[in-house]
Structure formats: structure tokens, C-alpha cells
Structure 1
Amino acid sequence: MRRVAGALLLLTILVLQACNSGEKADSIFYNGTIYTVDDSNPQVEAVAVKNGMIMATGSKAEIIKLQGDDTEMVDLQGQTMTPGFIESHAHMMGVGYNKLELDLMYVKTYDELVEKVAEAVEKAQPGDWITGRGWHQDKWIEKPDHMVKGFQTHDKLSEVSPNNPVWLRHASGHAAFANAKAMELAGVNNLSIESLQGEVEGGEIIKDELGNPTGVFTERAASIVGKLVPAETEERAEQALQMAIDECLRLGITSFHDAGSGQDFIDRLQRFKDQGKLKVRMYTMLTGRSPQLLEEWYKKGPMIDPDHLHTVRSIKLNCDGALGPRGAWLLEEYTDRPGHYGHETLPMETVTEVSEKALASGFQVCSHAIGDRANREILDRYEAAFNKYPNIDRRAQRFRIEHAQHLSEEDIARFGEMNIVAAMQAIHMSSDRPWAIDRLGEERIVEGAYVWQKLMQSGAVVCNGTDAPVEPLDPLPSFYASISRKTLEGFPEEGFEADQAMTRAQALKSYTLDGAYAEFEEDFKGSIEVGKAADFTIFNKNIMTIPEQEILKTKVSMTVVGGEIVYKAD
């Protein structure tokens, strides 16, 4: 109680000092419900901004004293303002390219997917590649008559595209679907599959009962066809990046953790920053798929931007597959595919090597792990690397596990003990939980699937996101899933494993201050406090009080980055 009273007294002093200094605010946000994510001062009536930073917070009467002749008065008109939302795990270029290719995220049946491809073929020239992403066979409301190992076959797809190679990536990014033309170009057929086994390690070419390829390629096997898809031009890449930035701002996202990219992307972001076009704060993870890239960055060390717009300080490792294509690496076999345990898509020795080099050179490591075996293996490798450098404070390194979806009960406490950030995407629970129980069985689901409360109780930080374009980038469905543990249709009424739901305050923090913590920026952003960046998201409804289902109908009316209104709804 004394700490809260002391903080309020300090806040009052700071406001009075600002008022007495004669300085006037560049802008004042008032007449709304303002949630600060500051425990000592959770709600305020108004916020004053100066030079892109928060100058003062408090009552409207106090803050209005900072109004000058040139102060922009932003009337929130009773709407709700929060710290700017931070997308803690997504793929910026994937978001953009989804707008330039076939977007299959909302396809409900295989026949609908085929129709979309047929429409694209009509507009294409013979030989042109048809590409897209977003299909997920377990989310279709009607399954094809013929399925192999849980996947559709290419026959219908190939019928509508005889002269165009087709390459459609799974929503998870851990599988892809090719037509006969694409497989012909790649030399994939019944006779060639055995000779391709060396290229399939860490993945699988799905075959029917006669040994014929069905068109589905999981994990690393996808490169057999994927490497033939024409490379993107820089002009198209810049178009995709601009579209992704615009989408972020429309959805109230002020910061974005890009989950694994190369030097081309980093250079592209830098050009956008230099040209004044980078309106979203970027935290880029170096892709672990390029050892040469990592070696170059180990030598020069992290790039920490003093402008807080483009920082490169972490490394992304892809260590197992996704649950949908049964690629997540499990300790015990899949309930719906006996004898199958998923895939280790990266040698665990690489995790050890990268972790040790990262500690020595100042990088954070962010490892993709969905299955309980992958999570355990990575925790073991992190711990061994920390033990090799006993003089380095392991808690200060903030190593992360991306997704951390399915855990053994024995490993949950280790997240808190080692201060491993669990970078999770609540929307995955909403989308996957109805069918995930078929993959894992009830016992594993209840004990260790999407266990947000158990992780937080261990002392771990849980940050939130969407993994877009795996899921839509909109943070509100993920916020909804965090507090409801339901599908977007509101099923089941009591929520899946409801004891693991977040409170609204926890969900908001996971999308703001905890996201900032996960990128070492909690002293600069993530809450509405004096001296922090003026990054705000304004909603047309109060997401902290309205009925759960109303959250899904809420819209962003304004997005503010560094005090600048960068998006305003019509």
C-alpha cells in the first residue's frame, strides 16, 4: 500500500513539475477510458505527449494545464485507450505476401480451395506458378472423401491446373500442397521418392497405399518443390512490406517481433526507416536457417537502435514442426497416428552451439517448439549453455521458446526458474484445441496444453501474438481467446480447461508490457507512464469490461506511434 501511495505522490510531483516548467504538450489525449498497464496507476483520465514521449498522465483537470496554443487536443469521445499493442511473434513479409497471393485462410472445404485455384488459373498464363497459403485440413467443415494420413490428395487440384504448377503452403508453414505439374517439375513420382529420401530428413512426402505422392510435403521435405518457386523481386517485396505495415497500423499494432528473417529483410527495413516509411517498431530475429548469416552477426554483435524503430538482437531457431501436420515433436506417440512422434527439424546440437555463441556475443535465442519433446530438449540445451557461462546471469538473457504449446508437467516450472519467456499465441488455442485433443489425447491436453496460468505461476513471462499469417494478424481474437478459452464461435460455453484462462488485465499485459519485456524494451514502452514512448491503441469499445463475445466486434479507431497518429478509422 505504501508503494502505491508513494508512486502516486511521485506521479503528482512529476505532473506539477511539468505544469510549472512552462513547457506545453504537443498533444493531449482525453475524454476516454485510459488503461495504463501501470500497477501503481492503472487508469487515468488524460495523457500529455511531448516529442513523441509521454510527458504527463493524470486527471483531465491536471493535464489540461499543459495545453498551449499549438497543442493538438485529441478527444477520445468516450473510447478506450491502451498502450500500443505488441505483436510478439509473427512474420512481417508473410503478412504482406498473403495479400499478394491466394489467401486460403478462410477456405472451409477442399472443393473451395480447388475453386480458388481454378479462378487463379483462368487469369494466369500457362506455366505460371500459382502460389498461396493458409489452408488447414483440420479446420475444414467437410473433409474430402479420400484422405491419406489425415491429408487430402492432389487429384482434384491437378484436374483444374494441368498447365500451371501449384504450390500452396499450409497455414502453419510446416507443410505444403503441390499439384501434379509442380511435382513433375521437381521430379517427384512413385519411382523417384526413394531416391529423394536424403532431401526428406526432418520431413515427409505423404504417399498413398500404392506409394504414389499425394501432393502433401511436410516440414523439410517441402523444399523439394518449394525451391523451384520463382524468387520474389525486390519491388514486390517492398510492396508486400508496405502492405504489412499498413495492416499492422489498421489493427492497432505499434510494435512487431519478426520471427526469423535474413539480411535482405533487415536491409529492406533499414531503407524504410531511412525513408520515413517504417511506422511500426520492429524487433527482428535472425533466421537460424542461415549459419553464415549468424556467424557474421556474432562478430559484429546486436544492432540496438537508439531510435527504437529497428533492433536486431535475437536469433530464431526452428526445432520441430506443427501439430496440424503431426510434425510437432512429442515424447509419446500421436494418439491419432500410432508409432509417429513428429519431427526434430533442427539437430539439437545446433541449439547448443547457437545458444553458447549467442551468450558470448550478446544475442537472445528464440526457439520454435510446439511438442513436449521439443520443449524439453530446448530447455535442456539452454540450461547446458547457461551452465557453461556461470558468470552470466541466466535470468537477464531472456531466452525464449516460441509457441511452448504442449509441455510435459515436469518442464513447466523450468520456464520460471531459468526466466525463459514463453512467447505464445492464444489464438492457437482457440483454433486448434477442438482437434488437438485427437492428436494428444485428453490427459496430455489437460496437463500441459496452452497452460498460461501454470507458466505465469512458475514465474515465467508470457507474451502474446498471432503467428500471422498462420492466423489473422488481428490481436483481438487472440485477446478474446486469452480470457475465454473458447473458439471464435463461443464454444464450449465454459471454455476449454478454463482454469488456465487469463484475466483481462493479464491478457492486456501479455500484449503490451510483457511483449516489451520480451524484447528488452519494458523501460521504453509497453505501459502508459511518464517518460515512455507515446504508443497507443484506441478501441471503439471497452475491451476490459464488455461481454466476451463483443470483443470480436470491436474495432481499432486510432493507432498512435511516438505521438503521431498513424492510423485513423473512417
Structure 2
Amino acid sequence: MAERVWTLDPQRPMARALAVRDGKLLAVGTKAEVRAAVGPGAREVELGPATVVPGLVDAHAHIHGLGRSLTTVRLEKAASVDEVVRRLTQAPESSFQGDWLLGKGWDQNEWPGGAFPGRAALDARFPTTPVFLTRVDHHAAWVNGEALRRAGITRDTPDPEGGRILKDARGEPTGVLVDNAMDVVAAVIPPPTRTQLETRLRAALLRCAQVGLTGVHDAGMDLDAFRLLQEWDAAGTLPLRVYAMAAGQGDERHEYLKQGPWQGRMLAMRSVKFLADGALGSRGAALHEDYCDEPGQRGLLLMPPEELEARARAFMARGFQVCIHAIGDRANTLVVDVLLRASAETGTQALRHRVEHAQILRLEDIRRLGAAGLVASVQPTHATSDMPWAEARLGRERLKGAYAWRSLRDSGAHLALGSDFPIENPDVLAGLYAAITRQDAAGRPEGGWWPEERLTPREALEGFTVGPAWASFEESRRGRLSPGLDADFVALTADPLEGPPKALAEAQVVATVVAGAEVYHAPAVG
């Protein structure tokens, strides 16, 4: 029972109560109608002034990455190199993988001057302990001299394909590695122990439930994490629904191809995720023209176009939905080309292939993407995080097709909204607020950044419910609240459809319910 229930069901858009039986919705309607449907003796839960909405789903995120960020050194909002080093000196034991010190979340755009860091500050404090720190976008790493030594990187090491080893004026590695260059060092880091992996995944899933997520589309799951989640799913202990994309970049893809699409109770894998380019913040996003703030640099394609297409075709032929990360406009042109051509030639248009991020596009590519009915998997908080410096990177003209959710939706694309956590906070209410306002939590800028690309409150809510259900082939089971559908729903202290958008930035999750089971309930106040 609640003050209101927004069902997103056109036949009955609002109700006051829900009845659940065996993980499904038995009835949706008034309190009297629901009581009549269930009969006497049913347990009633009164949610008071809360607003109930269909289960919220993050359509692009990284569960293991979130768990790692929750259990290793947190570097988000560090205001300087010195502050990063101070945090590292206080690292908990869980920050070590083998004898490697791991951290995540640094962003040079937050520092005076905005320049990439160097290894000297890390070397001074950690001369013999290898240090590996991923940037906030996970498309660059900052390492120390010991890490470079163990990976065999010297002044004579060439850039790997799809990556950059930054070097100083003397030709020495600075300690910053962009995109595929990160893999050279990551390859020599010991893998996490099973206990570490379990701890990370449990921490991430708990955090997701706390912020109101009933499901997550995991954008590129490593094989060890997938096998562990399979165990939990078989045992009935996986608390949320996970739609996993196979990691298509490395050698594990062969195992996923051999396995083929897989469906469990709460876990599914029928999609694969590839990376076409890097990220805008580390200037790895592949652009048609130079970066405005680094002439001569156009970003990186992380694999040759013909290899990307060959891998896409192989997974399409095996029955997988293909999801490709594309940030820059050059990468998006390539990805739309690949998906249209490969799906037509393999006859797999019905597999609902996806462009992950669809962040910076030429206007003609927005039209092509929409005309083909592809899924545009976008992240509203990326826009509000990037807006302070995006124009410096791109110039005003290219921003006309950047973070263009309204244009994508109007073109015919299927919008599925997410956060890309842990790059952004997993707080789905912050994503709803950003989608509706295109403002930060302080309400800046007034009227919103490129406000013509805002979504309406209903469109934003559908982007975290109906959109992910469509993008994971579950629209007949989830995304709305009506009898017979899965009993996935969330109770909130704010009304996302009729309340003031600002209230979403301050709202709380009262309860998160998955398959009729309460996986989170906010602690009582007072």
C-alpha cells in the first residue's frame, strides 16, 4: 500500500496498491480491489507517503568495478596529486591485490592546471610497491616506476595498438597509460583471490539494492565474476537481476562464444560488449577532427575496424546481441556502420543491437541510428559530470550532437538509461534528475545545459524501466507494473513524475523489491 503507484501501464497508469504471489504481481489497483483479489489473511505492508515505481534498472554498469572501487582506495574528488598520495598512504588492506596497491577515481580535470600527473610523486612515497590507479573513466591508468619495471615498459617501448604510453620531453614514460596501454601493466597484476572477488561482488550488489536498483546490465563481465554469479544464481542467493554482457575484448571471448547465450533465474548472458574507442576525459574518444584543446590528437580506435566487425559477426552468428562502446563521433560512425552492415548480412536485426554511450554523434549518425531502431544506451550523469570541460575538448559545434538524448529518442532509437558505475555514482535517482534537468545537484546551469536535449519525467522514468526491459528482451515480463509481470518495484520518498525534479536529488529509497522479495528496506528513523 502506498500513496501512489506509477505503473507505466497505459491501461492503468496509477494505482494505490499491489499484491504479490510467487514472485509475480497478482493484482494492481485500489486497496479494495487488491484486498479482494488476494482474499483474507494476506500480509499487508503499508509504505505510507512513499511513491512506488517499476523496478529501476541500470542499463550500463560494471558490478565488479563497483565492488573494487568500494573496497580499494577511493580517489574521487581528490583535489591534487598530493591529496591522492595522502589517501594512498592510508589505504586499507583490501586495496592490495597481491603486493600491488590499487586505487580508482582520479581526475586531472579536478586539479590546478588540469594536466596529467607523473610518476615522481608515487615513486617518492612507494619506491618498491607497485601502484596502479585507474582514472575516473577507467580509460587511463597512473602507475609508478615499480609498476612500469614489472611490466617491462621503458623509453623504448612503443605504443600498443589502440593505446598511448605518455612520455616526457626526454622520452621517459610519465606513468600515465591510456586505453590499451593500460593492459600492458594490468596483465602482470595478480588476479583477485576468490575471497576478494566474493567480497567485491557482495558489496556492489548491496550498494545497488540500497540505491533502488532491481537490476543491472553489466557491460563486459569477466569470466571469473560470471562463474561466481552463476553459482549464486543456482543457489538462489543472487539478490538482483543481472543481464551480463560477455567481455569481448580479450581471450575470454572464445569461452563465451563456445558457451553461447545463457539464461538462469536471475542471471542472463545473451549479449557481448566491445570497445570501439576510449573516453573523452582522457582524450581517447575517437573523433573525426582534432581535439580543440590538443591539436593533432584525434583519440584512439581500440581495435582495427575490420577486427571489430569480424568479432561482431561471430557473436551475431552465435545468437548474441552485440553492444559496442562508442564515445567519439568517429567511433559512433564506425559502430553504426558495423552494426547495420553485420546485422543485415547475418540476418540478426531482431537481436536489438546496442550502441553503448552514443555520446558524441554527427547529426546524420543520430538519424541513421534511430532509423535502424538500434538501442542507444546512454548515461545522463555523464553529461552533468562532463559539462564543465566538454566544450573545451570539442568546441560548440560538435556539442550539437553530444549527450543528445532527446534527439536520439526522437530519431526512433530505443533509449536505455544507466550510470556507467563506478565511473559515476550508482545512485539512479541522480540519473533521473540529470535526465530531466541537465543540471548538477546545485541546480547549475540555470535552465539546464543544452536544455533542448532534456527528457520529460515520464521519458526519464521509462529510460530506467521500460527501456532496459526492451534492451534485454524482457518487456513482456518487466518494466511496468501490471498483473502477471515480475514483482520488481521500488518505493521512493519523492514522486519522479509529478514532484519537483529537485526533490529527486535529495530523495531516499524506502524499499527495493525483486521477484517479490524485499532486498533492501531503509532503516527506521528515530
Which bracket does the TM-score occupy, shorter chain normalised?
Answer: over 0.9
SS of the residue 2:243 aligns to:
strand
CA RMSD of superposed structures (Å):
1.9
Q: Which residue of 2 aligns with 1:407?
A: 361
Distance 1:181 1:478 in 2: 39
Identify if the C-alpha distance between structure 1 residues 120 and 239 changes in structure 2 by more than 3 Å, giving closer, same or farther.
Answer: closer
Deviations 1:396-422 (A, max 9, x none): 221001000000111001112211100
Report if aligned partners of 1:537, 1:556 keep a CA contact under 8 Å in 2. Answer: yes
Tell me which of 138, 158, 177 is aligned to 2:142.
177
Distance 2:23 2:348 in 1: 33
Tell me which of 227, 234, 238 is aligned to 2:187.
227
Matches within 5 A, 1:240-255: 240-255=200-215
Q: Which residue of 1 aligns with 2:178?
A: 218
Question: Counterpart of 2:119 in structure 1: which amino acid?
Answer: H
Q: Which residue of 2 aligns with 1:524?
A: 477
Q: Which residue of 2 aligns with 1:23?
A: none
% identical aligned pairs: 37
Tell me which of 193, 200, 209 is aligned to 2:155.
193
Distance 2:475 2:249 in 1: 29
- Alignment of 1:290 with 2:254, yes or no, is no
Distance 2:407 2:300 in 1: 26
Q: Which residue of 2 aligns with 1:428?
A: 382
Tell me the CA shift for residue 33 of structure 1. 1.4
- Alignment of 1:143 with 2:112, yes or no, is yes
Tell me the CA shift for residue 56 of structure 1. 1.3
- Give 1 or 2 for the bigger CA radius of gyration: 1
Q: Which residue of 1 aligns with 2:75?
A: 104
Deviations 1:478-531 (A, max 9, x none): 111101111233211111110100000000000001111110001111110111
Q: Which runs of 5+ in 1 are unaligned?
A: 1-29
Q: Which residue of 2 aligns with 1:477?
A: 430
How many residues align structurally? 522
Question: Counterpart of 2:21 in structure 1: which amino acid?
Answer: K
- Alignment of 1:371 with 2:332, yes or no, is no
Select between 296-305 and 315-324 the one with higher mean Cα deviation: 296-305
Report if aligned partners of 1:540, 1:554 keep a CA contact under 8 Å in 2. Answer: yes
Tell me the CA shift for residue 300 of structure 1. 4.5
Normalised by the length of structure 2, the TM-score is 0.95
Tell me the CA shift for residue 95 of structure 1. 0.9
Question: Counterpart of 1:343 in structure 2: which amino acid?
Answer: L
Distance 2:107 2:15 in 1: 43
Tell me the CA shift for residue 230 of structure 1. 2.0
Tell me the CA shift for residue 351 of structure 1. 2.4
Identify if the C-alpha distance between structure 1 residues 327 and 562 changes in structure 2 by more than 3 Å, giving closer, same or farther.
Answer: same
Matches within 5 A, 1:282-431: 282-291=242-251, 293-305=252-264, 307=265, 309-389=266-346, 392=347, 394=349, 396-431=350-385
Question: Counterpart of 1:410 in structure 2: which amino acid?
Answer: E
SS of the residue 1:31 aligns to:
coil
Select between 509-518 and 268-277 the one with higher mean Cα deviation: 268-277
- Alignment of 1:567 with 2:520, yes or no, is yes
Q: Which residue of 2 aligns with 1:265?
A: 225
Question: Counterpart of 1:456 in structure 2: which amino acid?
Answer: R
Normalised by the length of structure 1, the TM-score is 0.88
Tell me the CA shift for residue 124 of structure 1. 9.3
Identify if the C-alpha distance between structure 1 residues 31 and 382 changes in structure 2 by more than 3 Å, giving closer, same or farther.
Answer: closer
- After TM superposition, the runs of 4+ consecutive aligned structure 1 residues lying more than 6 A away are 121-125
SS of the residue 1:176 aligns to:
strand
Tell me the CA shift for residue 122 of structure 1. 11
Question: Counterpart of 1:52 in structure 2: which amino acid?
Answer: G
Tell me the CA shift for residue 284 of structure 1. 0.7
Q: Which residue of 2 aligns with 1:442?
A: 396
Tell me the CA shift for residue 61 of structure 1. 1.9
Report if aligned partners of 2:72, 2:95 keep a CA contact under 8 Å in 1. Answer: no
SS of the residue 2:141 aligns to:
strand
Tell me the CA shift for residue 363 of structure 1. 0.9
Deviations 1:296-342 (A, max 9, x none): 4445531133x3x1111001001100000100000111010111110
Distance 2:196 2:43 in 1: 37
Q: Which runs of 5+ in 2 are unaligned?
A: none
Distance 1:157 1:355 in 2: 40
Tell me the CA shift for residue 283 of structure 1. 0.7
